[in-house]
Amino acid sequence: MKKYIFLLLFFSTLSYSQEIALLKYSGGGDWYANPTSLHNLIKYANQTINTNIKSKPATVEPGSTEIFSYPFVHMTGHGNVVFSDAEIINLRNYLLSGGFLHADDNYGMDEYIRREIKRIFPNNDLVEVPANHPIFQKPNLFSSGLPKIHEHDGKRPQAFGIFVDNRLVLLYTFECDLGDGWEDEEVHNDPKDVREKALKMGANILNYIFNN
């Protein structure tokens, strides 16, 4: 089964047109927040780092076998996140078989996503990703690590990760809000340089997934 899952992920990334997905989860959190963000990130990545990702992201549920078709799954929201036991097993299998989950706190998700990550990987610590990790190095250099996009509580932005056999399989971005920076300009009226910084960091994440 694991070999099959790995091959499915492998061939999906080698196909002519790649596809990424947004995670539709339960618990009451607004998984659908930032509706324009992934589309804009895809457009930027296709233009700047030579990806070939379908312009419209898919929507996938954590317990679905369809999740194994997507090398990158993004989730966001402001509130509660709850995975069933079956979804926990499915997500763990997905991540151990080559998949990648990016959880981006849109302010208010922190305590809930940390709890669920611990359920997915009870024996792996969620650790801060160092600034010298490849995800911050190319194609755009972020010498200090994760950039600050929105203030929230005024704390420093932090990128946390789950590593399995030295591979980053899950990225949790906190006090940063990359997804807001990816949204259409008129949504948050962020300055151009702030949006560009967010998109460059997003491109780095996709580059890491497709080239490591």
- pLDDT the model gives residue 185: 77
Residue-wise pLDDT for 111-138, tens only, equals 999 999 999 999 999 999 999 999 999 9
- pLDDT the model gives residue 1: 44
Average of per-residue pLDDT across 91-113: 96
Three-state secondary structure string covering 125-180: CCEECCCCCHHHCCCCCCCCCCCCCCCCCCCCCEEEEEEECCEEEEEEEECCCHHH
Residue-wise pLDDT for 162-202, tens only, equals 999 999 999 999 999 899 999 987 776 778 999 999 999 99
**Model's pTM, two decimal places?**
0.91
Whether the CB-CB separation of 211 and 71 falls below 8 Å is answered with no
Q: Where are the domains of the chain?
A: 2-211
Q: How many residues does the chain have?
A: 212
Q: In CATH, what class is 2-211?
A: alpha beta
